[in-house]
A and B are shown apart, each in its own frame.
Chain A
Amino acid sequence: MQSKRLGWILLAPTLVILFFFGVLPFIYVVYVSFHSWNPFAVNPDMVFNGADNFRKIVFDSAFLNSVGVTVMFVFFAVLSELIIGYFLAQAFMRDFPGKAIFRTIHTLPLIMAPIIVGSVWKLMTTPSIGIIPHYLDEWFGISMNIGTSAPAAFATIVIMDIWHWTPLVTLTLIAALVSLPQDPFEQAQIDGAGKRQIFWHITLPMIAPAVVATVFIRLMDALRTVDEVWMLTGGGPGSATRFVGVHIFKEVFPKTNYGYGSTISVIVLYLTIVSCWLLYVTMLAPRNKKD
């Protein structure tokens, strides 16, 4: 009984902080989402408008477009990071000359702030001065202009994200691979299993929790990507890279549409939770049940 009370006492500071800085603001955002509120309107006060904002969001093509673009971005970026990260992790499990140096260089992007990553990539991709369009043109005759080509801008952002975050996936998977017991692999080899069979039936199931955890982290991160995109394209050209985070920012800050912006935030949070839950039930829950 005493240890239970002590537990609560020790937890109390965290719970209080969580309540004030996590739960309370969330409740406030939900409250605001049921209001029309723009401080620069003729009436700058909050006006309760029921579910109007939620009704509006269903037909808001700009919002729906931003969700679509974000989902595409998450799919391409996270999947690529996972595949490349896995192969890099496998490579780092082996010894090769210069491994330590390569691993250090490979990890460097992780320590860079997203806004800096966006700036660096902007410098590298700006037509006329950027190294990437320059060499694409010189070597392959490809004209790249992220200011006019929506596919080029989108692909650049996906590649930038892969460059920035693949090291995180690699490190997580290295940790998972290192901790795997050797017995099942040796037994499988004795039984004559091929590399592909070992991967599908032993490696992947055993590192699945680490893979899911990594996907969770990257999924949530990718869904709220703002800084790099803001710096690189500003959401353009047009709305080709106007991810949902950028859309919320533009709605809430320059447009000061606090009510509707809150509604979008609540819906996006809901979609994020649902996505993570779907991922969990499809990838981990069956395995837990089997165990």
Chain B
Amino acid sequence: MSFAIKLGASALALTVAATASFAESHAEFWKNAAAPYQGVTIRGVTESSPPSLYIREVLAPEFEALTGIRVDVETTSWDQMFDKAIKDMEAGTGIYDMAYIEQDIIYSYLARGFLTDLTGYLADHPALKAPSYDEANFTTFADYFKDADGNLYGVPMEAFLKVYLYRTDLFGDPDIQSAFKAQTGRDLVPAKTHAEYAEIAQFFTEYGKANDMDLWGTTAQAHTGHVASWYEYYESVAPTFGVYNWGIDPDNNYAASTANGGAMNGPEAVEAMTWWLSMRDIAPPESPASTWTEVGTTFGAGRAAQGLVYGENAGWIAADAEKSLVVGKVGVALPPLADGVLAEAESGDGYIGYYDGGAFGMPHSSNNKEATALFLQYIGQNEVQPDWAVAAPRVTNTATYDDPKVVAFNDELGGYYDLIKDKGYLFAGAPAYPFHAQVREATAPIFYQILLGDLAPQEGLDQMAAAAEATLSELWYRK
């Protein structure tokens, strides 16, 4: 055996031994740290989404086997989750030790002082600090869950973009390509502008009709009685026309109307609304009853050639043959943009879409803070991330991108993880508004009237801006 081989074998043996010993010492930590809390049950409430189901089905049992601490994770609907968590934290009943904090609600929770500062808590309880947990491991998405002092209030558990998905099989079909070229005079490639997107959408809707196929040119999350439609417009459509933060200017006395310096009813907002409505009109007929879930289902059923789809659904659409009819036929791209928007996003003055996600936080009212702190660290470790990222496409830790499993899965997803890693900075979470749900609910009924055609876009947006300002005045944000 040559010296080089001997050296290599020795290095490998040392590495394996060190890794095993490291893992063993980690296991020792969890056992020792959890020893005083054996038999304790901690409860969490979260949305019934793939990442949360992974916690319930995989991470919670693993943690229980390791520590003897039982973890009950209640997965429920999006609105019920908020309802239950807020009621519990408001009343201080302590039913839940963990609550899912969607990125857009964190500011409301922080304003009400609902959550425990995890950074401070672990600093005060060094015996509970896991060696394998480090806040520095998280991607910058974790910044949404920090206060002005940089203290973390939630362990990120899901993070994804609302992306532009398109059907690679349709876009790559030579016959379709030539038909498209003959009709439009340009190549069939993912759209970069709204006009191009509309052209592709129109083409495929007509193509579906002409060929008696259940195929339409675009998705539309356009429910006429559910806030999902409101979110599609404000998170994913309006920013691509240069309307940011819902058109409300927090630095200008929370002005919403153009008359007061806001942009909610400005020309860009009207243009965005008009464009989006025109897309809704050539989307599949279920669109007016579609929330984010149904949009994923529509795309997965192969009924749309392109669309804006939440990343949490991109995984099963692209890779789960039991659920999706378009496995291996999905590509991802940046959404179509108006002139100047990309430059604004790159300079940090704007954004091009929604960076969605959430974290698990620990309410002040929790009665089992020690055991909960251990579990939250457990799900925040680098070690548990790769399998989680494959089971439910979400990345919260920087190291996850380079894991071989994730790299392989990225190819199946048409480069979705690359897009998050390389272009994630162009997207943004919801604006830092403590009045998020209040303004949304005040304006949503008018928004639905626009969708139904009862109000023209300009008229409707004028009313929405007025309603938003009235609500902000009622809540004393607007002086």
Residues of A whose CB lies within 8 Å of any CB of B are: 36, 38-44, 62, 122, 126-129, 145-148, 150, 233-239, 241-242, 250-251, 253-257
Contact = CB atoms under 8 A, between A and B. Distances in A.
B83 A238 contact: no
B475 A38 contact: yes
A156 to B, nearest CB: 11
A115 B3 CA distance: 72
Nearest to A231: B77
B225 A43 contact: no
23 contacts: A39-B112, A40-B111, A40-B435, A40-B437, A127-B285, A127-B286, A127-B289, A128-B286, A147-B288, A147-B290, A148-B224, A234-B226, A235-B225, A236-B224, A236-B226, A238-B452, A239-B449, A241-B225, A250-B441, A253-B82, A254-B227, A255-B442, A256-B438
A42 B285 contact: no
Contacts of A255: 437-438, 441-442
A238 B449 contact: yes
A239 B441 CA distance: 13
Contacts of B223: 147, 234, 236
Interface string B435-468: 1011011100100110110100000000000000
B90 interface: yes
A40 B108 contact: yes
B477 interface: yes
B79 interface: yes
Nearest to B224: A237
B265 interface: no
A233 B442 CA distance: 18
A235 B79 CA distance: 14
Instruction: Please indicate which of the listed interface residues B86, B441, B442, B445 has the most CB atoms of chain A within 10 Å of its own CB.
Output: B445
Contact of A41 (B287, B289, B448, B476): B476
A121 B86 CA distance: 30
A239 B442 CA distance: 13
A154 to B, nearest CB: 12
- Per DSSP, chain A at the interface is loop
Given A38-B475, A44-B112, A148 B438 contact: no
A155 B224 CA distance: 16
A256 B82 CA distance: 11
A250 to B, nearest CB: 6
Given A40-B435, A148-B224, A238 B445 contact: yes
Instruction: Sort A-B residue pairs by CB-CB distance and give the 6 closest, nearest first.
Output: A236-B225, A147-B288, A234-B225, A237-B224, A147-B289, A42-B476
B284 interface: yes
A97 to B, nearest CB: 41
B208 interface: no
Contact of A126 (B108, B286, B303, B440): B286
A253 B475 CA distance: 16
A237 B438 contact: no
Contacts of A236: 223-226, 448
B112 A40 contact: yes
Contacts of B449: 238-239
B434 interface: yes
B289 A126 contact: yes
Contacts of A36: 474
A237 B288 contact: yes
Given A239-B445, A239-B448, A254 B437 contact: yes
A38 B454 CA distance: 31
Interface of B: 79, 82-83, 86, 90, 108, 111-112, 214, 222-227, 284-290, 294, 303, 434-435, 437-438, 440-442, 445, 448-449, 451-452, 454, 474-477
Contact of B440 (A122, A235, A254): A254
Contacts of B284: 128
A211 to B, nearest CB: 34
A251 B438 CA distance: 9
Contacts of A129: 286
Given A147-B287, A254-B79, A238 B438 contact: no
B435 to A, nearest CB: 6
B127 to A, nearest CB: 35
Contacts of B434: 40
A237 B449 CA distance: 8
Nearest to B446: A238
B21 to A, nearest CB: 50
Contacts of B79: 253-254
B256 to A, nearest CB: 17
A147 B475 contact: no
A44 B224 CA distance: 31
A127 B286 CA distance: 5
Nearest to A61: B445
Contacts of A128: 214, 284-286, 303
A47 B184 CA distance: 62
Contact of B452 (A148, A233, A250): A148
A145 B434 CA distance: 36
Nearest to A127: B285
Given A128-B286, A238-B448, 7 more contacts: A36-B474, A40-B438, A235-B225, A254-B227, A255-B437, A256-B86, A256-B438
Contacts of A38: 438, 474-475
Contacts of B226: 234, 236
B454 A238 contact: yes
Contact of A148 (B82, B227, B288, B474): B288
B448 A40 contact: no
Contacts of A257: 438
Contacts of B440: 254
A38 B286 CA distance: 36
Nearest to B289: A147
A215 B86 CA distance: 37
A255 B82 CA distance: 12
A253 B438 CA distance: 10
B205 to A, nearest CB: 14
Nearest to B475: A41
A237 B445 CA distance: 10
B152 to A, nearest CB: 22
Nearest to A251: B441
Nearest to A147: B288
Contacts of A122: 289
